[in-house]
Structure 1
């Protein structure tokens, strides 16, 4: 009874954290807007300064929603990969999906130097990223049907990532400096600039990812104890592995398509949640990492805003500064993490 009450307290704290960080994120920016006016803008009422309403609804709200959805997706994708490979250092991009997306996007940015006329836009970049990660996913699925060992699949994913990264380097070497700069800015990651259609697609990807995770929860729990144990419970390892790969790929691909390659969130969030909740039961972990991922990326985006400044730091700068020490701390701590 006492344990259940303590768990309820932790759930309440996670929910409160998401709401609090969401409000803080809306409150921070180069333009100082009173919290009361932000609330009025959110409820469609007129604000003291008409421009404030446009800033809140057209920029800050969409940015905060993007951070919430992308963080939740990356956290859940990271949990799927760490469970699949039974490796605490596995993240949602270990299968080379982000690298495949980067290769396709680099081609869009650097096509001018090859005599092609591809105009970079938010949708052309998103479509290219989806196609790039989709092609890599098909390759990984084809290999997964032949390779039954998860460690071998992990190595294959890393090699695909290395190969695509080398192709990106070739494109950069033969491209114009301005094209390279545009591509470099994209690799920093961005949570701004999404419209309602793009947000809807990102939200749909998250809903599908959560649904697939819930369907596969029994397999996720059994998977931690090995294939033999999963088989003894009537679970088909091949089907379970396929669902995990598709779920993580969908989540990572959608985030990369609309926000660029955001690092460390998917890697750090499952560890932080396991240390906080202290359980290996995915019935608890799945919703917890969704809330934890949303909280972490909202926090990172709030820090990146630099209150009072007229520029925003790249989101990957902040996620690396927070995520890397977290992973190092976890390793040095030397205590058991529920995997």
Structure 2
């Protein structure tokens, strides 16, 4: 769906044969709509899995993929590139989208490395959570300072980036995102036993023979890779990583990660695709910010499920 109407039969022909009756339609399908749909699947799955990992590690239902400050680090990298060009003595090609991705990825990577360094020295997971939040506060403060001194055009460009977008990724960038998702999923699968043990606390997990420090590093690395890479390529996308794990628990009525991991991946992809359909405004040229749609659609669903379950308990 989109601003240009394409018959359903033409869409199926393009998907099955790689060609269509109109060259323009085929270009729109293969160079814009299919990449955007695949991006939505990867981004929704990755953010949801990252949120599940953080909620399990910190045993906090309000934890999301960005609690470690990784998203704030990516925002700082983007802010320095977009709004700091006039404040630094060297010029940067801010109009190049590849440069923006590299800057965002570098910012998230540096914050992730700092948090992982703290994870090696910190025994308490709650202290690590607070440290991550403090990293996020520091980077957000720097972004605020840059926003205050930036020009209106640069500030508007940064705001547009911060609203998130799914429709500007190339096939190469989608491939990188897919590799990041597979890498994060690999670390998650390795940590399945540790994640199930952490549901009952670190003491119980240790009694099961879990190496807490090693498990914590694997989990943080998986969540950081997922959240950092997605933020770098698509901007900060809110709510999905926080809400989808709750949806999975409500719908599948379990906390076992052998079920929760695939359920979270699937529900995250579905929710992001639905949000993208609404944001696209089929038949119109305008595209709504994906951040706003994820909250508008997802929040009522979670509220309804929680209300329904609590109503059944009393």
TM range (shorter): over 0.9
* TM-superposed deviation, 1:147: 1.9
Alignment equivalent of 2:52, drawn from 79, 87, 97: 79
1:40 equivalenced with 2:13 (yes/no) = yes
Which residue does the alignment assign to 1:262? Answer: 237
8 Å CA contact 1:101–1:256 kept in 2: the answer is yes
1:229 equivalenced with 2:179 (yes/no) = no
Alignment equivalent of 2:75, drawn from 93, 102, 105: 102
Alignment equivalent of 1:128, drawn from 97, 103, 112: 103
Tell me the distance in 1 between the aligned counterparts of 2:295 and 2:84: 30
* TM-superposed deviation, 1:212: 1.1
Gaps of 5+ in 1: 1-27
Say which is worse superposed, 288-297 or 110-119, in terms of deviation.
Answer: 110-119
* TM-superposed deviation, 1:112: 2.9
* TM-superposed deviation, 1:334: 6.9
Check 1:87–1:323 CA distance in 2 against 1; reply closer, same or farther (3 A cut).
same
Check 1:218–1:324 CA distance in 2 against 1; reply closer, same or farther (3 A cut).
same
Which residue does the alignment assign to 2:86? Answer: 113
1:142 equivalenced with 2:108 (yes/no) = no
How does 1:1-339 map onto structure 2 within 5 Å? 28-114=1-87, 115-120=89-94, 121-329=96-304, 335=310
Q: How many matched pairs?
A: 309
8 Å CA contact 1:188–1:314 kept in 2: the answer is yes
CA deviation profile, 1:157-193 (whole Å, cap 9, x unmatched): 1111111111101001111110001100000000011
What is the root-mean-square deviation in Å for CA atoms of aligned residues? 1.5
What TM-score, normalized by structure 1, do the two folds share?
0.88
* TM-superposed deviation, 1:322: 2.2
- SS in structure 2 of the partner of residue 191 of structure 1: coil
8 Å CA contact 1:91–1:266 kept in 2: the answer is yes
* TM-superposed deviation, 1:44: 3.4
- SS in structure 2 of the partner of residue 132 of structure 1: helix
Which residue does the alignment assign to 1:21? Answer: none
8 Å CA contact 2:247–2:302 kept in 1: the answer is no
* TM-superposed deviation, 1:150: 1.4
- SS in structure 2 of the partner of residue 242 of structure 1: helix
8 Å CA contact 2:250–2:305 kept in 1: the answer is no
- SS in structure 2 of the partner of residue 313 of structure 1: coil
- SS in structure 2 of the partner of residue 261 of structure 1: coil
8 Å CA contact 1:113–1:174 kept in 2: the answer is no
8 Å CA contact 1:78–1:270 kept in 2: the answer is yes
What TM-score, normalized by structure 2, do the two folds share?
0.95
Tell me the distance in 2 between the aligned counterparts of 1:193 and 1:67: 12
* TM-superposed deviation, 1:253: 0.6
Tell me the distance in 2 between the aligned counterparts of 1:272 and 1:210: 19
